[in-house]
Amino acid sequence: MTSNLAIKLSQVSKRYPHFNLSKINLALEEGCIMGLIGPNGAGKSTTIRLLMGLVQPDAGEVSVLGHSMPSSQVKAKWEIGFASEDMRLYKNATIEWHMEYLQSIYPSWDKGYAETLLKRFDLIPRQKIKGLSHGQRVKAGLLLVLARRPKLLILDEPTTGLDPVARHEVLNELMEVLKDETRSVLFSSHNTQDVEQLSDQITFIDRGKVVNSQDRETFLERWQRIRLDLSKSDWSENNLSSSQPGVVDIQQSGNLAVVTTNQFNPDMVSAYQQQGAEILGVENMTLEEIFVAEVHSSRQGAEK
C-alpha cells in the first residue's frame, strides 16, 4: 500500500551516456531505516536524486511520502530532510544565518532542538562556513536538516570523510533521531559498519541494479560460512555446490573447504554431516563480507 510507504520506486530506469539505472524497485515503510550500500558509481546518488525530484526518470514511477515525483516535489520536500556529501552551505554566511534562513522557511523548525544540536555538535553559531572543518560542515548540515523535524530523512553518504570522533557524534545523533518511530530514513553509504549499526533494512546496489534488499537480520542469518573437513568423504567442489541450494562460493584447499551460503538453515549442516563431512564451524559473516559476496555473485550472474 503506497500510503504506508515512505518511499516507493517501481521499475524506475534512468539512462545516461555511460551509466544506466535499470528497473529499480525499492520500498521503504514509514518508520523504517534503510541503508543503501553500493560501490562508487553504483547508482546510489542517482537513486537519491530521483527520490528528491532532481532527476526525472526515463521510465517507472517514483513516490515519496505518497507524493509522485518529480511532479509533486514541492509538497514532498516540505517533509523531507535531505543532506548529501556533495552539498555545501554558503561559505561566506554563518551557521546562524543558515539556521535563521531555514527557520523563516519551515514552520516545523524546532529552535530548542537546534540549540541543543549546536551544543552537542560543539558548533559556534557565528562562525562562517568557510572556517569550518569538514566534520563541522557535515554536522552543521545535519543540524539544519534535523531541526526542521522532517518526516523523511534522505542522507547521501552522511559520514564520508569524517574522522572517527565526528563520525561517532553523527551516528549517535542519528541513533537518537531514529528513536522516533514515525520518522523514516534512507541513507546511502559505502561504509557497511555505519549501515549495519543504523539500518533495519538493507539494500545492495551495484552497476545500476538492486542486487538484494532485505531486513538486516535476514541478511545476517541467511549469509553464513560453513567450514568443512572432507577427509572422510569423497566430495569435490562440484557436488558441494550442487548438493545444497544457496551456495554462492566454495573455497577448497586439500580436504578443507569453506562453503558460503546465502540461504543458510541448520539442515544444511546435518546434510553435510550425513554425507561424511566434518563440520569445523559455522561462522556469521559481517555485512561487508555479505556485500562483497552479493556483488561478486551478482556480477558473475550477469556475465554468464
Partner 1 sequence: MNTVMIKHLFVKDWQFCRNALAFYFAIGVASLFLISVASKLSFYVGIVLLVSILIIIGAHLIFVTVVNERKEQTLSFVMSLPVTFSDYTVAKLIANIVAFLIPWGLLVAGVLSVISFNADIPNGLIPFALIVLLELFVAYLLVLSVALITESEVWTIVMTTICNIGVSLFWFWISSFAGISKHIQGETAIWNTTAASIILIELMIAALIIIVTFWCQSRKTDFL
Question: What is the binding site for partner 1 (CB under 8 A)?
Answer: 49, 52-56, 70, 73-75, 77-78, 80, 82-84, 86-93, 101, 104-105
Rg (C-alpha) for the chain, rounded Å, is: 23
Q: Give the integer Cα–Cα distance in Å for 211 and 299.
A: 9
The residue assigned the cell 521503504 is 28
Q: How far is the CB of 229 from partner 1 (least distance, A)?
A: 55
Q: 262, 259, 283: which is closest to 271 by C-alpha?
A: 259
Q: How far is the CB of 59 from partner 1 (least distance, A)?
A: 13
The residue assigned the cell 573455497 is 251
Nearer to partner 1 by C-beta: 111 or 232? 111
Nearer to partner 1 by C-beta: 75 or 120? 75
Q: Is the dihedral of CA 134, 87, 21, 27 positive or negative?
A: positive
Nearer to partner 1 by C-beta: 208 or 212? 208
Q: How far is the CB of 127 from partner 1 (least distance, A)?
A: 17
Per DSSP, 147 falls in state T
Length of the chain: 304
Nearer to partner 1 by C-beta: 38 or 57? 57
Q: How far is the CB of 84 from partner 1 (least distance, A)?
A: 6
Q: How far is the CB of 62 from partner 1 (least distance, A)?
A: 13
Do 189 and 37 meet the contact criterion of CB atoms below 8 Å apart? yes
Whether cis (ω within 30° of 0) applies to the bond prior to 125 is no
Nearer to partner 1 by C-beta: 8 or 49? 49
How many Cα atoms are found within 13 Å in the side-chain-facing hemisphere of 239?
Answer: 9
Identity of the residue numbered 8: K
Q: How far is the CB of 242 from partner 1 (least distance, A)?
A: 47
Nearer to partner 1 by C-beta: 62 or 285? 62
